[in-house]
């Protein structure tokens, strides 16, 4: 059984096995949750991300890569790149779903049992929160049979609006 939980707070404070970063495709850091994760982890995280970026040319939307967590209380960080909202006709739901699915599959492959997600793409990338929550929860639920090693999945909401949306979506 995998537990799904919703909490409100700062993802960088969580001592789960892995937290997910809503990165950008350069992997070189940014604002929002990405900036908070890099600040809390320290400069070694950026160095590891730079190394991946040099070898692989960054990370396209919908994909995920894993690094160490350095000064963070979690064990690892998965960096996934959400789609920028362009009105809904540019494969945004497919790419957002892919972020959640690929992050879960990567976590399972690495033997990680607890994972915390931020509300990917709902900040600077402008994805409507009411739509993003449905894709996030539906994708995670659909992936559960493929990830038996993952015991806890946390949706970490920073703002009250997302917290209310996730709470409602998960109690349906």
Q: Residues 152, 3: contact at Cβ < 8 Å?
A: yes
Cβ count near 111 (within 10 Å): 9
Print the SS3 string covering 37-88: HHHHHCHHHHHHHHHHHHHHCCCCCCCEEEEECCCCCCCEEEEEECCCCCCC
Q: Which of 4, 28, 36, 46 binds ligand ADP (CB under 6 A)?
A: 36
Helix (H/G/I), strand (E/B), else coil: 115: strand
Contact status: 100 vs ligand ADP (CB under 6 A): no
Q: Which of 32, 75, 110, 144 binds ligand ADP (CB under 6 A)?
A: 32
Site for ligand ADP in 140-159 (CB under 6 A): 156, 158-159
Over the window 41 to 80, marking each residue x when it contacts ligand ADP by CB under 6 A and - when it does not, the resulting string is: ----------------------------------------
Considering the complex, state which of residue 2 and residue 21 has its C-beta at the smaller distance from ligand ADP.
Answer: 21
Considering the complex, state which of residue 99 and residue 148 has its C-beta at the smaller distance from ligand ADP.
Answer: 99
130: enclosing H helix or E strand: helix 129-143
Angle at 94 between CA 90 and CA 98, to 5 degrees: 130
Q: Is-catalytic flag, 34?
A: yes
**Shortest distance, position 7 Cβ to ligand ADP, whole Å:** 10
Site for ligand ADP in 124-143 (CB under 6 A): 124-125
Pairing of strands 76-81, 64-68: antiparallel
Considering the complex, state which of residue 30 and residue 138 has its C-beta at the smaller distance from ligand ADP.
Answer: 30
Q: Which of 103, 119, 135, 139 binds ligand ADP (CB under 6 A)?
A: 119
Contact status: 10 vs ligand ADP (CB under 6 A): yes
For residue 39, give every residue at least 6 positions away whose Cβ sits within 8 Å of its Cβ, in sequence order, or none.
Answer: 12
Q: Where do contacts with ligand ADP occur on this chain (CB under 6 A)?
A: 10-12, 22, 32-34, 36, 82, 118-125, 156, 158-159, 162
């Amino acid at each position: 059984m995998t537990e799904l939980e919703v909490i409100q707070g700062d993802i960088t404070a969580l001592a789960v096995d892995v937290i997910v970063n809503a990165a950008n495709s350069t992997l070189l850091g940014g604002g929002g949750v990405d900036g908070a994760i890099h600040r809390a982890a320290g400069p070694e995280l950026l160095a590891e991300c730079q190394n991946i970026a040099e070898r692989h040319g960054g990370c396209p939307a919908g994909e995920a890569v894993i690094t160490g967590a350095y000064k963070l209380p979690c064990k690892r960080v998965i960096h996934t790149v959400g789609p920028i909202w362009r009105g809904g006709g540019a494969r945004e739901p497919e790419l957002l779903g892919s972020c959640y699915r690929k992050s879960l599959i990567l976590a399972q492959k690495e033997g990680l049992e607890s994972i915390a997600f931020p509300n990917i793409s709902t900040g600077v990338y402008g994805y409507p929160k009411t739509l993003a929550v449905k894709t996030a929860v539906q994708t995670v639920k659909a992936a559960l049979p493929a990830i038996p090693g993952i015991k806890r999945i946390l949706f970490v909401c920073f703002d009250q609006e997302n917290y209310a949306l996730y709470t409602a979506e998960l109690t349906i």
